Amino acid sequence: MAALQKIRSKGAWLILAIGLGLFAFIAGDFFQSVETTRNVSKMQVGEVYGEDLSVQEYQALVEQTTELYKMQYGTINDAMQDQIRDEVWNQYVSYKLIEHEASKLGMIVTDQEIQDALVEGTATSLLRMGQPFVGQNGRFDVVTLQNFLKQYKELASQTAQLDPQMVESFQMMYRIWEFTEKELRKELLMTKFNVLMQQSIMSNSIAARMQFDERNTRYTAQVAAIPFSSIDDKKVEVTDAELKAMYEKNKELFRVPFETRDLKYIDVLVSASNADRAALNQEMADYATRLQSGENIAATVAASKTTIPYVDAPLSKNAFARDIQSHLDSMAVGSVKAPFYSAIDNTMNTIRLISKAEMPDSVQYCMIAVQAATAEEVKQRADSIATAVAANDTAFAAIAKKYQQNADSIWVTSAQYEGSAIDEDGAKFITALNTTAPGQITKVEMTQGTLVLKVIARKKMVTKYNAAIIKCPVDFSKDTYQNALNQFNRFISANRTLEAIEKNAGKSGYVLRDLENFSSSMHNVANVGATKDAIRWIFDEAEVGDISKLYECGTENDHLLLIAVTGVHEQGYRPWDEKNTKEVLRLMVLSEKKGEMLRNQLKNVKDMATALKQPSVVSDTLKNVTFMSNASVLNIGAPEPALTGLICKTPAGKFSTVIGSTGAYMVQGVNAEKPTEKFDAKMEMQMAAQNNLRTILGQLYQALVLKADIVDNRYKF
């Protein structure tokens, strides 16, 4: 009882203590949850209609699309990789926009529709798979796919016994199929949605006839124009009230679906100094001497900094860089070209021409690959095969069949091998192809065995060259880079504010440039590569007036970059009094007021003779104007839809006036040439519907983008 009484006496304190303990427990979970949410959000590449795209999903899509590109184009460079990332993102956004609308309609893609698309074989996603799934008829071959999937399933349990390269090839093709299957479903849904839109847009014979006439009737007119630029801006007063009114009238023009930044930056491109050039010139002179002296040519080229490896084989002129091609014909065999500079790729070059001869551009051949446990066995077997096929023309096919090889002949052109890297074995093979006479047998000793090669025919003799080329970039040295870095750091240390940088940049030899409306979807700052860190700073950390650290960047690590943020534009409507917006509004108000001034000036002008006497008038005769074109007067230049419409509605001999967006226009009709081609109502109605569909889909997409609350965080990754 005493203990219970004691607890009761301390009740308030106990409740408080327990409450604090529970709060700490709940708060701990809450803050942990918040932190988890933050971490998850940091891993989101983007968002459409509140649905997140994780970095893992995005990267998987990029990798799968990259594999498709590699199948089509081979090597993927940085520019193509950026293009792939944009393509993946844009397709993801487009699909999510349509999917959101389709779900409201209950629109789906069934498994049967997938099967039907596979049989039809014309879907874009299927055709992108390329060989071997697309046949010569340009259609996807579902039977080939079925056979591949069957083979893949059978080989899946035998990977330990198979060639690793073959396994990787099968696995890559299977990954591409899995990706394509998903893309096919997306494509079919978007196609169904577009078809629905198309069915809701119709034309009629009257509208079709109007479109036909507007496209094919050609007008000639005499035009007199007074450009707005002829009126001094100072003579036109523009008030803030007028700017605000113009803004409200055209507010949608100033709505942007993403945030941007205004920047100022200094970009220092580090280049070779005079000392660097002198050192490279001396090196190139030494290499030229070594090439001329007869030293091991391959070793000499390999020891240099050349970007072109030596290929000991005859190659056509097309195999060489343009700046090298221009020197080959004028060189004598055995001579060395003195080192010369090429501005095309900023390199120093020297050439030794080893040989030059007329050789075939195309060769037809067949061959047997000989392999055995030992080099001696390879030699004996190759000699035996060569002797047999030389003695009997029909023996080649039988011997090839014995060794389970294909005896069919193959045509190869120079272009097929000159566009790729050629190793030592490849050089031996190319030399044999080019130097073996038709009907002759030769043996080509390779790293993995010997080829018994028979040349059957040759076509189109061209000049081919065996040339050793040393092409060295004119690069800056470490000392040069360090000097540029130290100098720029000293400038930054002495100028810590934007005002100071603006004042002193020019004095120190730097150029401060403006970059307005920079968005996070751009791949680099000011076209300088490897600036991802700078972009993250711009959008994640920087405030207006902040100055960045010095970034060492560039795809060749040859740029020094300093950035200042001068403006932040949030997603949505740009304020009317923002600098750029205000300037656009000012020009719009000026045009409107100048148009009214000219309308009053020209109200009594009723003929072309009077029109041509007006102050600042320019004249032109416009021919072949159609309603679908955008007419413009030569001395004004800007396309003017209002002028186009006026010309098309002004009969021959009549006079009309209109105020356009760039000036006042007075038109005297001359003649109208009616179309001579036959009117096809059905075709015109289809064209009208298609044109309307494109316009409506474009407008719909823009409207959906504004509704979808799209978040693009790709710059973070």
Three-state secondary structure of 192-222:
HHHHHHHHCCCCCHHHHHHHHHHHHCEEEEE
Distances (CA, A) of 240 to 12, 245, 310: 65, 9, 70
d(CA 593, CA 113): 59
Residue in the structure block whose two tokens are 């390329």: 130
357 CB contacts (<8 Å, ≥6 apart)? 314, 463, 464
Q: What is the DSSP letter of 575?
A: P
Token couple for 220: 């000639």
Residue 367: the pLDDT is 85
d(CA 397, CA 444): 19
Which residue numbers in the chain have pLDDT < 70? 1-42, 136, 156-163, 393-394
Are 530 and 82 within 8 A, CB to CB?
Answer: no
| CATH pick for 275-473 out of 3.10.50.40, 1.10.760.10, 3.10.129.10, 1.10.3720.10 | 3.10.50.40
Domain 275-473 in the same topology as domain 260-271+477-570: yes
Residue in the structure block whose two tokens are 């000012």: 586
351, containing H or E segment: strand 347-370
Angle between helices 11-42 and 2-9 (to 10 degrees): 60
37 CB contacts (<8 Å, ≥6 apart)? none
d(CA 375, CA 378): 5
668, containing H or E segment: strand 663-673
680 CB contacts (<8 Å, ≥6 apart)? none
Chain-centroid distance of CA 368 in Å reads 44
Extents of the domains making up the chain: 2-42, 218-235+578-673, 260-271+477-570, 275-473
Residue 163: the pLDDT is 65
| CATH pick for 260-271+477-570 out of 1.10.8, 3.10.50, 3.60.70, 3.30.70 | 3.10.50
75, containing H or E segment: none
d(CA 85, CA 713): 12
d(CA 504, CA 494): 10
d(CA 367, CA 442): 10
Residue in the structure block whose two tokens are 């006026």: 646
Pairing verdict, β 315-316 and 572-573: unpaired
Angle at the Cα of 379 (from 375 to 383), degrees rounded to 5?
170
Q: How many CB atoms lie within 10 A of CB 445?
A: 14
Kindly give the residue spans of alpha helices, DSSP state H, lying in 304-423: 322-328, 375-391, 395-402, 414-418
Q: What is the DSSP letter of 524?
A: S
Radius of gyration of the chain (CA): 37
Termini Cα distance of the chain: 67
